[in-house]
Amino acid sequence: EFKDKQKRNFVPLTYAKADEIVIEPLRPEQFVAGDTPLGIDNWIQLGLVAGETHILPNVLQEADYAAGEAPVNVDDDEVFIFTDFIEVKPAIRITALQGEIDGHKFKPQEMRLAMNESDLQIYELDYPWIADVSIDIDGKVEYAGGSELTPLGVHICLGKLIAGIT
């Protein structure tokens, strides 16, 4: 049904009806996972230890699964496009990302910059990650501490998937 609506115009989020296609930036609350299921309030992850960590679903969402790992499932009426990641903490903790998008596992992508001149670091993906089935992104943590690694991109969906404020 979602794919059939491609011929329709995109509508600004403010005016979208349930069956109209909207585009919005990636936001934490769009990624729901876990048995409960849990949404994400923000991109901050504290207490990271050296090794591999979960980015999407995040550490709390992974802990909510009864058994094993599971990705963020993407609704039939939505698509996520990841283009970049931004780290806003001055000390770089996550130095590589590995995405498994729609069941296809990509090679790890180095996130270390040649020069670190400010608190805001932008990491461009070599090519966009486009997810319409599932999302599982892990990071390599080199130094213990906190991170605020934020994905950039767009969320394309039908208006019915946009949650209200209640």
Dihedral angle sign, alpha carbons of residues 99, 24, 158, 65: positive
List, in sequence order, every residue forming a beta bridge with 156; answer none if it has no partner: 23, 79
CATH code for residues 3-161: 2.60.120
Domain boundaries, the chain: 3-161
Helix (H) and strand (E) counts in the chain:
1, 12
Is pLDDT above 90 for 36?
Answer: no
Please give the pLDDT value at position 15.
Answer: 78
Residue 50: name the closest of 143, 130, 114, 117 by CA.
143
Q: Check if the beta carbon of residue 112 is closer than 8 Å to that of residue 95.
A: yes
Phi, then psi, of 103 in degrees rounded to 5? 85, -5
The Cα–Cα gap between 1 and 121 comes to: 39
Which range among 14-18, 143-147, 154-158 shows the weakest confidence by mean pLDDT?
14-18
Q: Check if the beta carbon of residue 140 is closer than 8 Å to that of residue 95.
A: yes
Structure tokens at 21: 């296609």
Structure tokens at 35: 């048995």
Q: What would the pLDDT profile of 75-124 be if each residue is shown by its tens digit?
A: 889 999 999 998 887 677 788 999 999 999 999 998 876 556 677 788 88
Is pLDDT above 60 for 166?
Answer: no
List, in sequence order, every residue forming a beta bridge with 46; answer none if it has no partner: none
Mean pLDDT computed over every residue of the chain? 81
Q: Which residue has better confidence, 38 or 28?
A: 28
Q: Which residue has better confidence, 147 or 129?
A: 129
Query: What is the value of pTM for the model shown?
Result: 0.84
Is pLDDT above 80 for 163?
Answer: no
